Structure 1
Amino acid sequence: MLILNKYSFKSKTITLFSLFFVLLFSSCDKVVELDLQAGDPKIVIDAEIIWEKGTDGSQQSIKITRMAPYYNAEVPKVSGAQVRVENSNGNVFTFNESEPGLYVCTNFVPEINMDYKLFVQVDGQSLTATEKLISVPPIDKIEQELMPDITGPDYIVVSFYYKDPADQVNYYLTDYKSDLSPFPEYGSSSDEFVNGNEINQKFGDTDLKPGKIVEITHRGISKNFYNYINLILEASSANPFGAVPGNIRGNVVNTTDANNFALGYFRLCEANHVLYTVK
């Protein structure tokens, strides 16, 4: 079965509209900075425990930052936090600060379907989150093909294949990194209509040429994180002239003051990580 990942391909409609907009207003060269109201400098916890197949998963890291005004050039790092993760067997894994805002553990023990709980003490607040480590099937093969394009020449599409387990409901998150973009391109999917089948996911770009390297990270994720990341992806691809969406809440709970919530999501994923050189 074939899954077309709706977040993998660049939208030519948006590209063409953006070009038209630039041409229409090319005579206006004055830079306008809006006087935006700054929100609360909330804590942001980027806590992905990712167990790449073929590794022991012992080295893990968690980033803690703070929201900043829109025009700030840098994201404020949060130092001095106490960070640990405990599994349902009572084992404790301490994350020590290695540089401002980066907390590292070197003896983490990942176990599929194990429940883990995150504890963060920062700014006099206690933050917690709980998740299960989700498995992912291995990638069986990677292929490429030329995709017809009515607006220009054919372009290269890279596809990877894996066998979805038939005895469970599965959710996936994939990111693609290359020198085509300074940021990864993400795509989420589920096996709702293809449970137990071979699944094919695609990544394509008109600038994808022979010799380019595509770094693929394909994760198994929980249903709750799947719903959360879909809100993020939909917001990031929304109408640029639409209303700004509110903060999207993750699973981090402030047990000291529920109203002073943190942003971010604590998730644990097994992942395939491959480098593919376009032919």
Structure 2
Amino acid sequence: MNMQRLEKYNFKNKALTLVSFLFVLFFSSCEDTVTLDLETGETKIVVDAEIIWQKGTTGNEQTIKISKTAPYYNNTTPKVSGAQVRIENKNGDIFTFNETGPGLYVCTNFVPVINMDYTLYVTAEGQSFTAVEKLTSVTPIDKVEQNIVPDFGGEDIIELTFYYKDPADEVNYYLTDYKSGFLLFPEYELTNDELFNGNQISTRFSDEDKMKPGSIVEITHRGVSKNFYNYMNLLLEVYGGSPFSIPPGNIRGNIVNTSDSNNFAFGYFRLCEADKVSYVVK
């Protein structure tokens, strides 16, 4: 069906806005250096905690990244070392994440179980954080097709379409990302099955400028919870960029500071089953 509620986000509009703004600054003052005073406010912990179980794998190795917010003009993101990180499932099984590099915490014996509740515990820089989420399943990608279609200007472009069957007996939410060498940043799509529950879904992707024969497009299709779907929807509408960058406007995820409720962390603890396809454009 082609009735899906679908939203796609990328960096193109943001980049064009930035270029236009810089263009105006350049021609309005060729002699003066203009520096914008962009403050980040209070420094906060950022927890990038995606547990992703790719179909066909054990899902035993998982990674969590911990960093801090940084001033806008900083070229690097401060990493948080020395944290204690673990996940516990509702059965009481504990999975410990050990630091393998600055701010990089890895577990090699994680056990993913669909619909299992998991709790994340993080202790970093004297603060304790926790979050609870359920591991959400995803229906597999059935096939990927390639077609030539006209764009808005009438020029022929390459379009990829991938198909999957939405389960009829449950409400489903999906997050898909597209990565390729011709994309500076991934492109994201959010989908829910409000209008097409139980039907085959077809989702399209194209890039009128750069996708050519020989390009490799990596499609990662996730099942996500309703709460994470709503968080992503808000985040992408406001920011229009990468959902795993530091969000503006103090958009809160599900990570709670149990030491000081006002000093929340950025990020969202999510557990997703995913199907991944690498497609070579013909």
Normalising by structure 1, what TM-score?
A: 0.91
Residue in 2 that maps onto 1:95: 97
Match of 2:182 in 1: 180
1:229 aligns with 2:232: yes
Question: 1:112 is matched with which residue: 114, 122, 128?
Answer: 114
Secondary structure in 2 matching 1:263: coil
Q: CA deviation at 1:235?
A: 1.4
Query: Counterpart of 1:259 in structure 2: which amino acid?
Result: N
In 2, the alpha carbon distance for the partners of 1:16 and 1:69 equals 23
What 5-or-longer segments of structure 2 have no aligned partner?
A: 242-246
Alignment of 1:147 onto 2:149: yes
2:269 pairs, out of 266, 269, 272, with: 266
Q: Deviations over 1:150-184 (max 9, x none)?
A: 32522111110000000000000000001222211
What residue number does 1:61 align with?
Answer: 63
In 1, the alpha carbon distance for the partners of 2:190 and 2:69 equals 25
**Aligned with 2:223 (options 196, 220, 245):** 220
Q: Work out the CA distance in 2 between the residues paired with 1:121 and 1:15.
A: 37
Correspondence list, 1:70-89, <5 A: 70-89=72-91
In the alignment, the residues of structure 2 paired with residue 118 and residue 237 of structure 1 have an alpha-carbon distance, to the nearest angstrom, of 28
Contiguous gaps of at least 5 residues in structure 1: 239-243
Inter-CA distance 167–152: structure 2 relative to 1 (3 Å threshold):
same
Provide the secondary structure at the position in 1 that maps to 2:86: strand
Matched, 1:7 2:13: no
After superposition, residues 41-60 of structure 1 pair within 5 angstroms as: 41-60=43-62
Rate the CA distance shift 1:195–1:39 in 2: closer, same or farther, 3 A. same
**AA matched with 2:186:** P
Match of 2:244 in 1: none
Amino acid in structure 1 at the alignment position of 2:43: P
Q: Distance in 2 between matches of 1:245 and 1:275?
A: 32
CA positional deviation for 1:228: 0.3
The amino acid of 2:27's aligned partner reads: S
Q: Which amino acid aligns with 2:190?
A: S
CA contact (8 A) 2:66 2:103 kept: yes
Query: Please, what TM-score do these two structures have when normalized by structure 2?
Result: 0.90
Cα distance in 1 for partners of 2:33, 2:277 equals 42
The C-alpha deviation readout for 1:76-118, integer Å capped at 9, x for no partner, is 0000000000001110000000000000000000000000000
The whole-number CA distance in structure 2 between the counterparts of 1:15 and 1:65 is 25
* Superposition deviation, residue 236 in structure 1: 2.3
1:251-262 superposed matches below 5 A: 251-262=254-265
- Give the drift of 1:25: 6.6
C-alpha spacing 1:42/1:27, structure 2 compared with 1 (3 Å):
same
Question: How many residue pairs get matched?
Answer: 273
Q: Which of 157, 160, 165 is residue 158 of structure 1 equivalent to?
A: 160
Matching residue of 2:40: 38
Residue pair 2:9, 2:240 contacting (<8 A) in 1 also: no
Check conservation: 2:212, 2:281, Cα contact below 8 A: yes
Deviation at 1:17, TM superposition (A): 7.5
